Structure 1
Amino acid sequence: MTLSHDVAGDGPTIVLLHSTVCDRRMWDPQLPALTGAGYRVVRCDLRGFGDSPMPDRPYNNADDVAGLLDELGAEQAALIGASGGGRIALEFAARFPQRTTALALLCTAVADHEPGERLRAFGDQEDALLEAGDVAGATELNVTAWVGPHADDATRDLVRRMQRHAFEVQLAPQEQEYGSIKHDVDLSAITAPALLVSGEHDFADFHAIAVRLSEELAGSRHLHLDWAGHLPSMERPDELNPVLLGFLRETVPA
C-alpha cells in the first residue's frame, strides 16, 4: 500500500512525518517556507491517519517511508518528524543511514522510552474514555494535553479535527487487524546530523528524550523552546520555520 501523500517544490527531498495526534495537514505552515527555500517537500499520512487507511497486512512505518521514497525516485531525504513521526524518522535513519541526509526531530518520541507518571496517567485516562465510547472526550483530552498555550483557536480546532478523524478510522470495525513488524534498531548507526527540539510546556518525557538523544547521536544538537508545547511547528510557525530552514541550509543546502 502506498501512503497517501503530496509532493511540492523542487530540490533536495524533505520528508515530513506527522505526530500521531495529527496527520499531514499539521505541516501546512511549513510547506510554503520549505518549497520557497528550494526544497522538494513530501508529506505523507501514516497508516490509519488522514487519507491513509488502516493496514491490510503486517506493516512497518519506516518501511512504508522507504517504499514511498522508492516510488518517488528519491534515493536520499532529510526527515522532519514530530513526536511519533520522530520515532519513525529515528528508525528510518538507523536502518537506512545511507538514505538519510539530516534529521530534525520536534518533541520526538523514541521506541524504548519508559513513560513518566504524568504521561502514563494521560494514557490511562485516554484508554478509559475510549473504552467507555467517549471519543469526543478522548479527543478533547488530546487537544488539552498536546497543544501548547501559545497556539491560536484555529490551530486547536485543526488538531481536534485531525485527532477525531484518526480515532474514527482506527476504531472502526476491521475485518482483520494487522500489527506492526518490529525491527531491531541501533540508534548508534545513525550518521545524519540531527536537530532535537523540545518545548517547555510539553510533558517532561520529551525534554528528557531530546537531552538523551543529543548525547547519543554524533553531530546532534538540542534546542529547548521556552514558549513551546508539544507541537511547536503549529503553535508558532513563524518562530519555528527559521530554525528548521537554518538547520537545513547547514546540512542539506538547496
Structure 2
Amino acid sequence: MTEIFRRHWPGDTDRPALALHCMMASAGYWGPIAERLEGKVDLHGFDMPGHGRSGPWQPEANGPDYHTATTRIAASFINHPLDLIGHSMGATVALRIALAAPEAIRSLTLIEPVLFAAAPDEMVAVQPDGDLERLISEGRDEEATRQFLAAWGTQSYDVLPDDMKDRMRACVRLVAACTPDLMRDRANLLREGGLEAITAPVLLISGEQSPPSIHAIAETLASRLPDVGRAVVPDAGHMAPITHPDQVAGLIDVNLDRA
C-alpha cells in the first residue's frame, strides 16, 4: 500500500471534518481555509497517492482503480458522522462517499466537482484540456501537463521550478486514470435515487470564471439533491480555495451552520 501523508488542523473535537484536495496539488492548501474557520471543526486531510508528501501510486494487479483507492483511503478517516469537504476530483470522491454512506455525513461541501458525466456532451467536447488523453497516449506528458495547468491551475507550467515540473508530469497520468470515473461515471454516482438519498445539507461552490461545464455540473447535481444551496465566488476560477480562501472559508462556514 502506498504510504499516505496525513494532515491535521486541530479544532473542536466534537466536530470532525475531512477535506479532500484536487489533482496535481496536495492537502496543504486547506491550511488557510482551516485557519479562517478558527477551530470550528477538527479538520483532517491527506495527500492523495502520488501527490504532495504521499508515496507514489502503486496499482496492484486486480486491485482498485485510482478513484476507488482514493475513496477507500478517505473513508478510512470516518468513524462517526463528520463534515465532508471536497474540491475538484476530491469533490467527486466526497460525493461518492456520501452516496455510499449518507448516514456518515453531517454536511457536504462540494467545490467545483468535476463529474463531467453530469454535463451536456457538447460542453464536455470543448473542455480546455480535451486533448489530455490523446497526448498521454502519445507519450507527450509534458504537453499534457502544460495543457492541464493552463485549463485548471493557477500558474503556467513554464514558470514553475524544475522540481515542481517533475512532480506535475508524474501526476498527469493519474489525471488521465480518472477519466472513466469523471467523464463516463464508472462509479455510477448519477444512479437513479442515489443523490436523492443524501439528506445532509449540501453546498455547491463554483468559481465565476470557471468553464461552463462546471456550472452545468452544479446545476445537474443541485436539481436532484434534497437539501442544497449553490454559491458562485466572484472573479474566481477553478482553484478558488487557493486564490479566494476568505470567500471559500466563509461559504464552508455557512454550510457547517446549516448542519
Q: Find the partner of 2:92 among 87, 94, 105.
A: 87
Q: What TM-score, normalized by structure 2, do the two folds share? A: 0.76
Shift of 1:144: 1.5
Q: Find the partner of 1:126 among 127, 132, 157.
A: 132
Q: Given residue 211 of structure 1, which amino acid in structure 2 is its aligned partner? A: E
SS of residue paired to 1:68: coil
The answer to which structure, 1 or 2, has the higher relative contact order (CA under 8 A, 6+ apart) is 1
Q: Given residue 195 of structure 1, which amino acid in structure 2 is its aligned partner? A: L
CA distance in 1: counterparts of 2:160 and 2:258, whole angstroms: 34
Does the Cα contact within 8 Å between 2:206 and 2:232 map onto a contact in 1?
yes
Q: Given residue 8 of structure 1, which amino acid in structure 2 is its aligned partner? A: W
CA distance in 2: counterparts of 1:42 and 1:231, whole angstroms: 20
Q: Given residue 18 of structure 1, which amino acid in structure 2 is its aligned partner? A: H
Alpha-carbon spacing, 1:53–1:183, altered in 2? closer, same or farther (3 Å): farther
Q: Find the partner of 1:44 among 43, 46, 56.
A: 46
What RMSD over aligned residues (CA atoms) do the two structures have, in Å? 3.1
CA distance in 2: counterparts of 1:83 and 1:115, whole angstroms: 18
The aligned residue for residue 9 of structure 2 is 8
Moved more, 48-57 or 215-224: 48-57
Gaps of 5+ in 2: 175-179
Shift of 1:119: 4.0
SS of residue paired to 1:139: helix
Confirm or deny that 1:193 pairs with 2:196. Answer: no
Q: What TM-score, normalized by structure 1, do the two folds share? A: 0.78
Deviations 1:44-88 (A, max 9, x none): 12233331431433252333211233xxxx312111111111111
Gaps of 5+ in 1: 173-178
Confirm or deny that 1:17 pairs with 2:20. Answer: yes
Q: How many residues align?
A: 233
Among all aligned residue pairs of Structure 1 and Structure 2, give the percentage whose two residues are the same amino acid.
24
The aligned residue for residue 113 of structure 1 is 118
Alpha-carbon spacing, 1:42–1:221, altered in 2? closer, same or farther (3 Å): same
CA distance in 1: counterparts of 2:81 and 2:23, whole angstroms: 24
The 5 A counterparts of 1:16-35 are 16-34=19-37
The aligned residue for residue 62 of structure 1 is 71
The aligned residue for residue 231 of structure 1 is 239
Alpha-carbon spacing, 1:202–1:111, altered in 2? closer, same or farther (3 Å): closer
